[in-house]
Amino acid sequence: MSSGTIFFIVVAGIVILAGIYLVIAYNSLVALRNQIENAWSQIEVQLKRRHDLIPNLVETAKGYMGHERQTFEAVTQARAKAAGAKTIPAISQAETMLSEALSRFMAIVENYPELKANQNFLAVHEELASTENRIAFARQAYNDSVLFLNNKVQMFPSNIVAGMFNFTQGEFFELEVPGDRAVPKVNFG
Amino acid sequence: MFWSVIAANKRKTYALIFLMGVFLLGTGYAVGMAVAVYNRPMAGLAGLAAAAFIWFVMLMVSLYGSDRVILSISNAKRVHRDKWPQLYNIVEEMKIASSLPKMPEIYIVEDTAPNAFAVGKSPEKCSICVTAGLLAACSRDELQGVVAHEVGHILNRDVMYMTVAATMLGSILLISDMFLRSFKYSPTIRFGSRSRISGAGGAGIIVLVASVFLAIVGPILARILYFSISRKREYLADATSARLTRYPEGLASALEKILKSTATLNFAPSATAPFYIANPYKQHLGGNAFATHPPLSERIRILRAMSAGAGYIDYMKAYIQVTNTRTSLLRASDITDTGRIEIRQASKASSGTELSHGVSRRKAGDIIRAMNNFVFVSCPCGVRIKLPPQYTGNQIRCPRCRRIHDIPETDNKNLRSILTASTALDGKNVMLEDPGQNMGIDLPSSRKQTVSLLPGKWQTFTCNHCGCSHELSPSFSGRRLTCSHCGSRITILQQASSN
Amino acid sequence: MKCPLCSIMLISLEFAGIEIDYCMECKGIWLDIGELEYLIAEEDGDEYLEPMAAVGVKGKGRACPICTRSMKKIHLGPTKDILLDQCPSHGIWFDRGELNKFISTGRDEKRSSRLVQLLDEFFPGVDDQIEGGE
């Protein structure tokens, strides 16, 4: 074998290895990006679910606490606003307001032991509490995935692959801190 | 999720499958050689083939059916959303929090001891099981902590390793058991061992010794393997639970309940006793007795020491502080916190009622009954009648007050609402929540806020304000009573005994 | 769970913190072993448990409704006129009337056990019912 052949084989080997790495790195980036998309859609699903539950809640509670009109209206209005919100900053603002209205509502429910013992109310309450949890957990999972993606995008050598295929960093989604509501904007290539 | 732990568990699983194959083939060959009288090499090969076959079957079972086997041994029943919405919700919350690819299947184990476990070969296909005892004893937050702990095991692939190990362990025990049996009943051993060994010469003795060695050491090896599972994994699953729920106290107080109950709760109620088989998988979360688990009290202390936050780093700090060790639980590369993870508030939904053992055991029994389609009838005299599904007839007469009740149809409704309609009494003057609201029971139509107490009788009456029912013991001597449910005052008139 | 006498399904009754299994046909009562111990331990400590310690008697009892193995014949309580069937690991079977006898035995001893009191409350007229023949 001439030195030329050996050189050729070595170069070919490196190219093949690099190619394999490229494929693996690309795939894992895509997987992460999909994970983020999933996590975000999960947030949306849960927000929708909360909107759907509120009329049930109001309907169940009305029979027991008829004279708490204001509270009902606050919740219903906040829901309508949240459901109508189109842009992401508007959504996060409206949802925060809805959360606040709901927690005020729940505080008032404490004064109505009959309502608290009602089977239907208990069921709706459990669903609503679970939905609140899910929104919180979905946000957490979303942020975790974003962190993984961002690490890959920033770190060597995966940053080269990310650069080649236009993977950009995802943004964290915050809902709780008023005035500092980050826009959950994810740029997918 | 801890990448190094996941990788280690995957490695261990593959290594285990491989080693087990080698071991089984060796044992099979040795058995074949030892048992054979004539035609040694062929018998050895036959043993080898048999072992290979067993290994293959076990591998297939452990990869594709082990979860079913373990679930059925544990007497677990699948529950869907409508049966226990809260449990389903909690599992789904944890699924979302942990980004599990698929919703785990949920099972309730018919056991009154509070415990939980998970099985499955991958996060895509796994099941979470909780016992009826756990459901009875735990509040929402506590249940969430336990479910998150199990999800932690699934994420870290502990469950994958355990599931494969359990099945593989089964295969070793099977083959060495067969060997020992053949030893015991083999005519060559019984009647002609001396001639056989002398005839076989030195090689025969070696084979015999080796196979005896394998047969004795095999089960021990399997045990060691079973217990060799990293002790760290429970801590790591706890750390995952704290981080997923952002509420370490939930798991801590659940573990405390499990710790307290193991001393007193270990028999099944009459409804389940025939099916009850003690098995190690059940001890998964509890069991101080098992070397696979660090002491519960220590795990509780660690969780409670997490004051700064609910992240992995906070758990690590608490771990070092409580156990006084220098060796850290995790590599730095495993810690993937996105910053400070705040501990959340206790959820309002969970009114963590402290139940006595007797009550929570009874509640667990009721859950099991409800799962088995028992019908619950609450009689206004205070008796709760629990009818087995085999009970025929449309009516039942209360043995205490002789009222006749229609038996409601069993609807496959939410189990929990069946149970709350007839919550357990704690043995004192207590109320029944929501007495028979959906049960088709004729409550006394005239609700008097003034109640006359007959001497020497137990008495039940309903509160005018909230409709809950109260029990008055014959020894009750007060003039007034505050409804424990809604807080309204009820006047009690003591009747003369002539009445 | 089936009645050891009539082989029909027992029903469970819960009242004021105790739970029993009851046969609608023969009015026999099954007490889970834990039920008995839980109540005794809670109310009286070991004081009442002592005279209640089961005394084994020769002879095979009926089949345990849980494990279907035959139960032991025992005397329970200070006197020896009640012969009960006990499964050591599952519970005790009271034939009809035996429970009331057991209760009255407790009364003679002037031990106001909550269990005794409650069982009496539970079935104020079980005996009349049986003798009156419905």
Q: Which residues, including other chains, have CB under 8 Å from residue B403's CB and lie 6 or more apart?
A: B379, B380, B381, B397
Has residue C118 been placed in a domain?
yes
Helix (H, G, I), strand (E, B) or coil at A164: helix
Q: Considering only CA atoms, which of B148, B130, B131, B136 is closest in space to residue B90? A: B148
User: Using an 8 Å Cβ cutoff, are B485 and B466 in contact?
Assistant: yes
Q: Report how far residue B213's alpha carbon sits from residue B222's, in angstroms, rounded to the nearest whole number.
A: 14
Q: What is the CATH number of the domain that holds A18?
A: 1.20.1440.20
Domain final position from B266, B288, B310: B288
The first and second tokens of residue C5, run together, are 């006498």
The first and second tokens of residue C103, run together, are 């209760």
* Chain B: residues touching A (Cβ < 8 Å): 85-86, 89-90, 92-94, 96-99, 140, 244, 246, 336, 338, 344, 347-349, 414, 417, 420-421, 433-434, 437-438, 465-468, 485-487
Of chain A, the percentage scoring pLDDT greater than 90 comes to 6
Helix and strand numbers (H, E) in chain A are 6, 0
pLDDT at B468: 60
Q: Report how far residue A158's alpha carbon sits from residue A31's, in angstroms, rounded to the nearest whole number.
A: 14
Q: What backbone phi and psi angles, to 5 degrees, belong to B189?
A: -75, -45
Q: What is the largest CA-CA distance in chain C?
A: 39
Provide, as residue numbers in chain A, all residues whose Cβ is less than 8 Å from the Cβ of B465: 114
The first and second tokens of residue B312, run together, are 């992995």
Has residue B173 been placed in a domain?
yes
Has residue C21 been placed in a domain?
yes
Domain final position from B260, B288, B316: B288
Has residue A110 been placed in a domain?
yes
Instruction: With an 8 Å CB cutoff and a minimum of 3 pairs, decide whether chains C and B touch.
Output: yes
Burial of B292 (0-12, 13-18, 19+ CB in 10 A): middle
Has residue C75 been placed in a domain?
yes
Q: Which of B270, B386, B407, B476 to mutate to test the interface with C (most CBs of C within 10 A)?
A: B270
Torsion sign (Cα): A159, A165, A168, A169 = negative
Closest-CA residue in chain B for A120? B417
User: Using an 8 Å Cβ cutoff, are B383 and B396 in contact?
Assistant: no
Which among B358, B388, B390 has CB closest to C38?
B358
pLDDT tens digits, B304-315: 988 777 888 888
Which among B396, B399, B426 has CB closest to C17?
B426
Q: Which of A144, A155, A176 to mutate to test the interface with B (most CBs of B within 10 A)?
A: A144
Q: Report how far residue A18's alpha carbon sits from residue A1's, in angstroms, rounded to the nearest whole number.
A: 25
Chains in contact with B via at least 3 Cβ–Cβ pairs below 8 Å? A, C
Q: Report how far residue A58's alpha carbon sits from residue A76's, in angstroms, rounded to the nearest whole number.
A: 8
pLDDT tens digits, C55-87: 666 666 788 877 777 887 877 666 666 778 887
pLDDT at B444: 34
Q: What backbone phi and psi angles, to 5 degrees, belong to C30?
A: -110, 130
Q: What is the DSSP letter of A112?
A: -
Same domain, B62 and B207: yes
Burial of C31 (0-12, 13-18, 19+ CB in 10 A): buried
Q: Report how far residue B21's alpha carbon sits from residue B29's, in angstroms, rounded to the nearest whole number.
A: 12
Has residue A81 been placed in a domain?
yes
Rounded to a whole number of angstroms, the distance between the first and last alpha carbons of chain B is 71
Structural domain including C33 reads 11-122
Q: Tell me the nearest-neighbour CA distance from A3 into chain B, angstroms.
A: 41
Has residue C48 been placed in a domain?
yes
User: Using an 8 Å Cβ cutoff, are B160 and B139 in contact?
Assistant: no
User: Using an 8 Å Cβ cutoff, are C93 and C62 in contact?
Assistant: yes
Has residue C132 been placed in a domain?
no
Q: Which of B1, B86, B93 to mutate to test the interface with A (most CBs of A within 10 A)?
A: B93
Q: Report how far residue A91's alpha carbon sits from residue A181's, in angstroms, rounded to the nearest whole number.
A: 10
Q: What is the DSSP letter of C61?
A: E
Report CA-CA distances (Å) from B288 to B166, B233, B258, B291, B300. Answer: 19, 15, 10, 7, 13
Report CA-CA distances (Å) from B110 to B272, B420, C89, C101. Answer: 7, 19, 18, 35
Q: Report how far residue B326's alpha carbon sits from residue A70's, in angstroms, rounded to the nearest whole number.
A: 58
User: Using an 8 Å Cβ cutoff, are A50 and A186 in contact?
Assistant: no
Q: Report how far residue B408's alpha carbon sits from residue B396's, in angstroms, rounded to the nearest whole number.
A: 10
Q: Regarding predicted confidence, which is higher, C17 or B92? A: B92
Q: Average of pLDDT values for A17-31?
A: 89
Q: Tell me the nearest-neighbour CA distance from B388 into chain C, angstroms.
A: 6
Q: Report how far residue A2's alpha carbon sits from residue B105's, in angstroms, rounded to the nearest whole number.
A: 62
Has residue C64 been placed in a domain?
yes
Q: Do the chains contact at B385 and C13, CB–CB below 8 Å?
A: yes
Strand partners, B107: B78, B129
Q: Which residues, including other chains, have CB under 8 Å from residue B333's CB and lie 6 or more apart?
A: B3, B4
Domain final position from B288, B314, B335: B288
CB-based contact (8 Å) between B223 and chain C? no
Q: Tell me the nearest-neighbour CA distance from A150 into chain B, angstroms.
A: 11
Q: SS3 sequence, chain B?
A: CCHHHHHHHHHHHHHHHHHHHHHHHHHHHHHHHHHCCCCHHHHHHHHHHHHHHHHHHHHHHHHHCHHHHHHHHCCEEECCCCCCHHHHHHHHHHHHHHCCCCCCEEEEECCCCCCEEEEEEECCEEEEEEEHHHHHHCCHHHHHHHHHHHHHHHHCCHHHHHHHHHHHHHHHHHHHHHHHHHHHHCHHHHHHHHHHHHHHHHHHHHHHHHHHHHHHHHHHHHHHHHHCCCCHHHHHHHHHHHHHHCCHHHHHHHHHHHHHHHHHCCCCCCCCHHHCCCCHHHHHCCCCCCCCCCCHHHHHHHHHCCCCCCCHHHHHHHHHHHHCCCCCCCCHHHCCCCCCCCCCCCCCCCCCCCCCHHHHHHHHHHHHHHHCCCEEEECCCCCEEEECCCCCCCEEECCCCCCEEECCCCCCCCHHHHHHCCCCCCCCCCEECCCCCCCCCCCCCCCCCEEEECCCCCEEEECCCCCCEEEECCCCCCCEEECCCCCCEEEEEECCCCC
Q: Tell me the nearest-neighbour CA distance from A144 into chain B, angstroms.
A: 7
Count of Cβ atoms closer than 10 Å to residue B191 Cβ: 10
Has residue B20 been placed in a domain?
yes
Q: Tell me the nearest-neighbour CA distance from B481 into chain A, angstroms.
A: 17
pLDDT tens digits, A123-137: 888 888 888 888 888
Structural domain including B239 reads 1-288
pLDDT at C74: 77
**Mean of the per-residue pLDDT values for chain A?**
80
Please state which of the ranges A28-42, B154-168, C40-54 shows the lowest mean pLDDT.
C40-54
ipTM for this prediction: 0.77
Q: Report how far residue C75's alpha carbon sits from residue C93's, in angstroms, rounded to the nearest whole number.
A: 12
User: Using an 8 Å Cβ cutoff, are B263 and B357 in contact?
Assistant: no
pLDDT at B340: 65
Which among B369, B384, B390 has CB closest to C9?
B390
Q: Report how far residue C121's alpha carbon sits from residue B457's, in angstroms, rounded to the nearest whole number.
A: 7
Q: Do the chains contact at A172 and B338, CB–CB below 8 Å?
A: yes
pLDDT tens digits, B199-237: 445 555 656 666 676 667 666 666 666 665 666 788 888
pLDDT at B287: 40
Q: Do the chains contact at B414 and A123, CB–CB below 8 Å?
A: yes
Q: Tell me the nearest-neighbour CA distance from B177 into chain A, angstroms.
A: 47
pLDDT at C52: 53
Helix (H) or strand (E) holding C74: strand C70-75
Stretches in chain B below the pLDDT threshold 70: 1, 35-40, 73-74, 166-211, 213-215, 217-231, 261-294, 331-340, 347-358, 410-499
Q: Do the chains contact at B438 and A119, CB–CB below 8 Å?
A: yes
Active site residues of B: 150
Chains in contact with C via at least 3 Cβ–Cβ pairs below 8 Å? B
Helix (H, G, I), strand (E, B) or coil at A2: coil
pLDDT at C104: 60
Provide, as residue numbers in chain C, all residues whose Cβ is less than 8 Å from the Cβ of B384: 13-15
Amino acid, single-letter form, for residue B61: V
Helix (H) or strand (E) holding A181: none
Has residue A136 been placed in a domain?
yes
Q: Which of B92, B99, B347 to mutate to test the interface with A (most CBs of A within 10 A)?
A: B99
Has residue C5 been placed in a domain?
no
Same domain, B156 and B273: yes
pLDDT at C80: 65
Chains B–C, number of C-beta pairs less than 8 Å apart: 90
Chains in contact with A via at least 3 Cβ–Cβ pairs below 8 Å? B
Q: Do the chains contact at B438 and A122, CB–CB below 8 Å?
A: no
Structural domain including A33 reads 3-164
Structural domain tally of chain B? 2
pLDDT at C78: 60
Has residue C130 been placed in a domain?
no
Q: Do the chains contact at B383 and C124, CB–CB below 8 Å?
A: no
Q: Do the chains contact at B99 and A145, CB–CB below 8 Å?
A: yes
User: Using an 8 Å Cβ cutoff, are B99 and A146 in contact?
Assistant: no
Q: Considering only CA atoms, which of B256, B250, B248, B233 is closest in space to residue B311? A: B248
Provide, as residue numbers in chain B, all residues whose Cβ is less than 8 Å from the Cβ of C21: 270
pLDDT at B38: 65
Structural domain tally of chain C? 1
Has residue B133 been placed in a domain?
yes
- Give me the residues of C, 89-128, that contact B with CB < 8 A: 89-91, 121-124, 126
User: Using an 8 Å Cβ cutoff, are C61 and C86 in contact?
Assistant: yes
Same domain, B108 and B222: yes
Has residue B304 been placed in a domain?
no
User: Using an 8 Å Cβ cutoff, are B27 and B174 in contact?
Assistant: no
Structural domain tally of chain A? 1
pLDDT tens digits, C80-128: 667 788 877 777 888 877 776 666 665 545 455 555 666 666 665 544 4
Provide, as residue numbers in chain C, all residues whose Cβ is less than 8 Å from the Cβ of B274: 66-67
User: Using an 8 Å Cβ cutoff, are B419 and B427 in contact?
Assistant: no
Cis omega (within 30 of 0) for bond into B435: no
* pLDDT at position A27 over 80: yes
User: Using an 8 Å Cβ cutoff, are A80 and A91 in contact?
Assistant: no
Has residue B262 been placed in a domain?
yes
Q: Which residues, including other chains, have CB under 8 Å from residue B324's CB and lie 6 or more apart?
A: none
Instruction: With an 8 Å CB cutoff and a minimum of 3 pairs, decide whether chains B and A touch.
Output: yes
